């Protein structure tokens, strides 16, 4: 068995030769004199007792000194001790040295000693290689794979403990073909039935681009699924942004009766945050309390992030206040949450509280703070903090910070000031900044200026469809219908299509998705009847349809019909049908909410006496009593 594994190891080694080219390693079969190899006792390790007893004692002494290593200088002392004891070629001591070094973040030091050019490669065994591969798998992934390669080339057989770390390294690199090659060797060495190897394989595939397919194949083929297996697959969906599939798989996990662990919880919360699935997110919080799952800082931070992104900023704040150990992530999550909810003043005071508590803000905290100022029109405060960032905290503004400041000026209608700021900024403005300027020009009636900037942007990014949509919207506002039609023709010629709008809503633990003009729902007839009723009621209350954002050059009545069937209106109609009077309605739109839907939703909130929370691509809108928290600027 061993020899056939060794032959396989030799064959597989060829696949990895390129990886190890950079590794300064000894020739695998090189032999050098050892203390007790070949020539018997060579001197250094021999004392007064029998050679074997002396060696044991020296070995125990070295292992004991390695166990006490809690800092790199102690490691260096232990190293000297090992050399003096003549145990530089003792596999057990080398393995312990490698793991102690890895724990202290000194992997390179360990490798240079363990795999020194004069070391005896004959003494390297599977355990030693596993130790070194494990030490490198987290932060020096290519090195981990290079050692794996060296292991195979040296004819040392991997075992079931080798692969979880090799696969982890592949996952970190995200190289699918490399991962598939390792998968091949897992099968050839016969470890494909091992549940830990299978779990890391699912994780590896889910980290590698197109891995959705391969990971699921491995997962579906597994006979024993534990919480790690489920988490690995759920994590795969979360990483690919396929949160709906992640939640669906989580439901299957519950049906299968597997108890979720903390990792599963973190993943599900991330999916909930993405989908706006507040009910499921709340369930996670109650599950944690019910099952006495330890409320780690990570779990609390994930809950805060979920609540903030699902529009329940009060719960985010409640949880934040209850935390005894707040990290910078806790502060930035809650500040960022307040920012998108228009709670600028609270966000600013929380930021000051954070500084007073001695927490040093990082660049992410400033993004949250500046966007809070921006969403709440706090122009002067925003400018002050922007300057404070460098002066007091020594943080160089990144393009995102400049973007926040441009947004701040634009939202306040200071478009000329924003343009001056962009012209003077030391970094090249990115398309996001240009698009912020364009949207502001459109909103504040600077249409000619908006047209000019958009044309320049199209020159830079000729294949970016949203630039054409912006120009088309500007022409709509100018009532230049011919030009607008022309834009559509250009988009058709280039094979571009407007991203279809869609809205998600979570009701009774189900997530429903609507697209414009959707008739796929079982209840679609009732939904359209409700839509008509809504239309009649809000018109009576003074609502006037705003049709300028409709892309097609069609007559007014059809345009009205087109905006009336926007996905958010369908979702709201559905929610009005399915939920008791007075219940809040929460929806998630994939694009920026259009002017007409915004205006209609204000009327709906008043007439039907509902709080409606809409998360669009840019921010949250809390509609209540005919008003929106964004103050009509978004």
Q: Which stretch binds Zn ion (CB under 5 A): 231-239, 288-296, 505-513, 596-604?
A: 596-604
CB atoms within 10 A of CB 412: 20
Contact between 602 and Zn ion per CB under 5 A: no
CB of 168 to Zn ion, least distance (A): 45
Q: Which stretch binds Zn ion (CB under 5 A): 201-209, 389-397, 530-538, 624-632?
A: 624-632
Out of 566, 586, 589, 615, point to the residue binding Zn ion (CB under 5 A). Answer: 566
Measured from the CB atom, is 270 or 567 closer to Zn ion?
567
In terms of Cβ atoms closer than 10 Å to its own Cβ (0-12, 13-18, 19+), residue 554 is middle
CB atoms within 10 A of CB 226: 16
- Residue 590 near residue 502, CB atoms below 8 Å: yes
Site map 508..547 versus Zn ion, x via CB under 5 A? ----------------------------------------
- Residue 585 near residue 613, CB atoms below 8 Å: yes
Contact between 628 and Zn ion per CB under 5 A: yes
Site map 232..271 versus Zn ion, x via CB under 5 A? ----------------------------------------
Out of 597, 604, 612, 613, point to the residue binding Zn ion (CB under 5 A). Answer: 597
Contact between 621 and Zn ion per CB under 5 A: yes
Q: Which stretch binds Zn ion (CB under 5 A): 243-251, 303-311, 602-610, 617-625?
A: 617-625
- Residue 419 near residue 437, CB atoms below 8 Å: yes
Measured from the CB atom, is 132 or 594 closer to Zn ion?
594
What is the Cβ-side half-sphere exposure of residue 497, based on CA atoms within 13 angstroms?
3
CB of 416 to Zn ion, least distance (A): 25
CB of 586 to Zn ion, least distance (A): 14
Q: Which helix (H) or strand (E) holds 67?
A: helix 51-67
DSSP 101-156: HHHTT-HHHHHHHHT-TTS-GGG--HHHHHHHHHHHHTT-HHHHHHHHHHHHHTTP
Pick out residues in 91-110 that bind Zn ion (CB under 5 A). Answer: none
Contact between 630 and Zn ion per CB under 5 A: yes
Q: Which long-range contacts (CB under 8 A, 24 or more apart) does 61-68 make?
A: 61/85, 62/87, 62/90, 62/93, 62/96, 63/92, 63/93, 63/96, 66/93, 66/96, 66/97, 66/100, 67/96, 67/100
Q: Which stretch binds Zn ion (CB under 5 A): 78-86, 278-286, 295-303, 565-573?
A: 565-573
Q: Which stretch binds Zn ion (CB under 5 A): 244-252, 377-385, 502-510, 614-622?
A: 614-622
What is the Cβ-side half-sphere exposure of residue 253, based on CA atoms within 13 angstroms?
24
Q: Which stretch binds Zn ion (CB under 5 A): 215-223, 301-309, 480-488, 626-634?
A: 626-634
Contact between 594 and Zn ion per CB under 5 A: yes
Give the neighbor-by-neighbor strand order of the sheet with 502-507: 510-515, 502-507, 585-589, 612-615, 620-624, 627-628
366 forms beta bridges with none
CA separation for the pair 624, 439 (Å, rounded) = 25
Measured from the CB atom, is 149 or 595 closer to Zn ion?
595
Measured from the CB atom, is 153 or 477 closer to Zn ion?
477
CA separation for the pair 378, 376 (Å, rounded) = 6
CA separation for the pair 536, 359 (Å, rounded) = 54
Measured from the CB atom, is 95 or 594 closer to Zn ion?
594
Measured from the CB atom, is 586 or 621 closer to Zn ion?
621
Q: Which stretch binds Zn ion (CB under 5 A): 192-200, 229-237, 242-250, 562-570?
A: 562-570
CA separation for the pair 177, 208 (Å, rounded) = 9
Measured from the CB atom, is 183 or 621 closer to Zn ion?
621
Size of the site for Zn ion (CB under 5 A): 6
Contact between 119 and Zn ion per CB under 5 A: no
CB of 421 to Zn ion, least distance (A): 25
Q: Find the Cα–Cα–Cα–Cα dihedral 46, 48, 50, 54, rounded to 10°.
A: -50
CB of 624 to Zn ion, least distance (A): 11
Contact between 66 and Zn ion per CB under 5 A: no
Residues that bind Zn ion (CB under 5 A): 566, 594, 597, 621, 628, 630
């Amino acid at each position: 068995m061993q020899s056939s594994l060794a032959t396989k190891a030799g064959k597989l080694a060829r696949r990895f030769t390129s990886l190890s080219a950079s590794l300064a390693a000894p020739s695998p079969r090189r032999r050098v004199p050892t203390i007790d190899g070949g020539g018997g006792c060579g001197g250094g390790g021999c004392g007064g007792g029998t050679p074997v007893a002396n060696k044991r004692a020296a070995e125990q002494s070295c292992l004991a000194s390695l166990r006490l290593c809690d800092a790199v200088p102690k490691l260096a002392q232990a190293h000297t001790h090992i050399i003096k004891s003549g145990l530089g070629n003792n596999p057990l001591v080398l393995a312990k040295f490698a793991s102690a070094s890895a724990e202290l973040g000194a992997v390179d030091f360990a490798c240079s000693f363990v795999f020194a050019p004069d070391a005896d490669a004959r003494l390297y065994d599977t355990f030693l290689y596993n130790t070194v591969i494990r030490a490198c798998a987290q932060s020096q992934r290519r090195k981990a794979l290079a050692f794996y390669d060296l292991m195979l080339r040296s004819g040392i057989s991997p075992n079931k403990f080798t692969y979880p770390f090799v696969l982890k390294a592949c996952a970190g690199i995200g190289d699918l073909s490399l991962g598939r090659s390792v998968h091949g060797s897992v099968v050839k060495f016969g470890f494909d039935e091992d549940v830990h190897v299978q779990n890391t394989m699912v994780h590896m595939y889910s980290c590698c681009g197109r891995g959705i397919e391969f990971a699921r194949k491995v997962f579906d083929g597994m006979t024993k699924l534990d919480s790690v297996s489920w988490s690995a697959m759920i994590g795969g969906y979360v990483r690919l942004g396929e949160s709906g599939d992640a939640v669906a798989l989580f439901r299957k996990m519950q049906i299968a009766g597997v108890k979720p662990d903390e990792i599963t919880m973190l993943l599900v919360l991330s999916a909930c945050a993405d989908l706006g699935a507040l009910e499921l997110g709340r369930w996670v919080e109650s599950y944690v309390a019910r099952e006495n799952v330890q409320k780690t800082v990570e779990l609390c931070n994930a809950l805060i992030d979920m609540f903030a992104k699902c529009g329940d900023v009060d719960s985010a704040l409640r949880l934040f206040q209850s935390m005894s150990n707040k990290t910078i992530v806790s502060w930035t999550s809650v500040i960022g949450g307040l920012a998108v909810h228009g709670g600028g003043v609270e966000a600013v005071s929380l930021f000051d509280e954070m500084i007073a508590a001695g927490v040093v803000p990082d660049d992410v905290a400033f993004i949250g703070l500046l966007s809070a100022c921006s969403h709440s029109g706090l122009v002067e405060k925003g400018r002050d903090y922007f300057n404070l960032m460098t002066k007091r905290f020594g943080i160089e503004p990144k393009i995102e910070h400049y973007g926040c400041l441009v947004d701040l000026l634009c939202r306040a209608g200071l478009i000329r000031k924003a343009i001056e700021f962009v012209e003077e900024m030391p970094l090249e403005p990115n398309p996001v900044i240009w698009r912020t300027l364009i949207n502001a020009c459109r909103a504040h009636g600077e249409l000619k200026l908006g047209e000019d900037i958009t044309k320049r942007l199209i020159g830079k990014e000729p294949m970016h469809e949203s630039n054409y949509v912006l120009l088309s919207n500007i022409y709509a506002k100018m009532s230049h219908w011919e030009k607008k039609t022309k834009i559509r023709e250009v988009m058709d010629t280039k094979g571009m299509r407007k991203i279809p709008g869609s809205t998600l809503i979570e009701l009774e633990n189900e997530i429903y998705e609507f697209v414009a003009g959707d008739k796929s729902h079982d209840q679609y007839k009732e939904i359209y009847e409700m839509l008509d009723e809504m239309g009649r009621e809000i018109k009576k209350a003074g609502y006037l349809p705003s049709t300028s954002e409709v892309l097609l050059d069609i007559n007014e009545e059809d345009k009205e019909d087109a905006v009336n069937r926007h996905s958010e209106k369908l979702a709201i109609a559905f929610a009005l049908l399915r939920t008791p009077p007075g219940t809040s309605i929460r929806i998630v739109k994939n694009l920026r909410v259009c002017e007409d839907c915004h205006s209609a939703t204000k009327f709906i909130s008043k007439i039907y006496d509902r709080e409606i929370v809409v998360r669009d691509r840019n921010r949250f809108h809390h509609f209540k009593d005919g008003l929106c928290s964004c103050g009509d600027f978004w």
